[in-house]
Amino acid sequence: MSILIDKKTKIIVQGFTGKIGSFHASEMIKYGTNVVGGVTPGKGGQTHLNLPVFNTVKDAVNSTEASASVLFVPPTFAADSAMEAADAGIKTCVAITDGIPSHDMIKVKRYMRRYVKKEKMVLIGPNCAGVISPGKALLGIMPGHIYLPGEVGVVGRSGTLGYEAAQQMKNLNIGISTSVGIGGDPINGSSFKDILEKFEQDDQTKVILMIGEIGGPQEVEAGKFAKENMSKPVVAYIAGLTAPKGRVMGHAGAIVSAYGESAVEKVELLKESGVKIAKNPSVMGETVQSIIKGQSL
C-alpha cells in the first residue's frame, strides 16, 4: 500500500498542453504513472502526448474515470481549477502552482466545506513538489530516481529538503512508502496532521519523517496528534533555527509571531510530544536509520 496514489490511480493533468504541464506530464508518464489525459479549456478533442485533451475536468472524469489530478495552472486561475476538480469528483488534487493569493486559498477552503468528509477532495499544496509513491506513481515534480521504495513516510513543506532526505535515505538503502510535499504557503490544502493521520493508517509505512520550518502552528499540532493517536515513531527536522523573530522568510512567507512558531520552540514542543529530532539537515537520513535499527538517540 501507499497513501493518496498508487500504480492503478488514474491521473489527469490540468494545464496539460502548457509548457510546464507538458514537461512534467511527460516526466510522470516516463516514471510509470497512470496518466490518462489532461485538461486545457478550448483544446478539447485534441491529442497531446498521445493522450486525450478535454475542455473541463468533468468531461475528463466522465471519459477516463480519473480520480486524481495535478495542477499546472497559472496563479490567477489555479483556485478555480482546484474547485472545478472537487466538483468533478476528483479525490486527490495536487496544486503545484506557486503564487496563488492567500485570499484565493481561503475561498477554496471555504468552498470545500460543502462536502462531507468522506466525499471531500484531498488538496495537496499549493506551492509544493507533489506526491510520489516510489516505484508506483508520481503526481508532481519530484526527481523520481532519488526515491527508493520502502517503509518510511515523508511529509514536508520544502520540496528541496524532501529531495535531500530522499537522497540521504537512498544512500543508506532506506526506502520511502510515500513522500508528500504539503507546500510552503501560509494557507495550504492539507496539514502535517492530515498526512500523519493517513500514514498511521497505512500498512506499508513504519516510520514517518516530518520536515517542518518556522512560522505557523502546524508542526506542533502534528506533534500533539502523534503523541495522542499514533503508534508509529515520528522523526522531525525543523528548518530555521537561526532565523530572527519578526522577519518575513522567503520560502514560506512565515512570520514568527506567536509562542511555538520559532524553530527552537517547535523543537522543544515536539520533543515533549515524543518526536525524535534531527539536529541538522545533513543527519535526517541517519536519524531515521537509528529509529529503524532501534537505537537510542
Of the candidates 164, 162, 159, 213, the one whose C-alpha atom is nearest the C-alpha of residue 186 is 213
Amino acid at 198: K
DSSP codes joined into one string, the chain: --SS--TT--EEEETTTSHHHHHHHHHHHHHT--EEEEE-TT-TT-EETTEEEESSHHHHHHHH---EEEE---HHHHHHHHHHHHHHT-SEEEE--S---HHHHHHHHHHHTTS-GGGPPEEE-SSS-EEEETTTEEEES--GGG--EEEEEEEES-HHHHHHHHHHHHHTT--EEEEEE--SSSS-SS-HHHHHHHHHH-SS--EEEEEEESSSSHHHHHHHHHHHH--S-EEEEEE-TTPPTTPPPTTT-----STT-SHHHHHHHHHHTT-EE-SSGGGHHHHHHHHHTT---
Q: Using CA atoms, how far apart are residues 91 and 9, in angstroms rounded to an integer?
A: 10
Q: Using CA atoms, how far apart are residues 208 and 217, in angstroms rounded to an integer?
A: 19
Cβ atoms of 235 and 212 closer than 8 Å: no
Kindly name the residue from 24, 48, 103, 251 that is annotated as catalytic.
Answer: 251
Reply yes or no on whether 145 is catalytic: no
What residues are labeled active site? 251
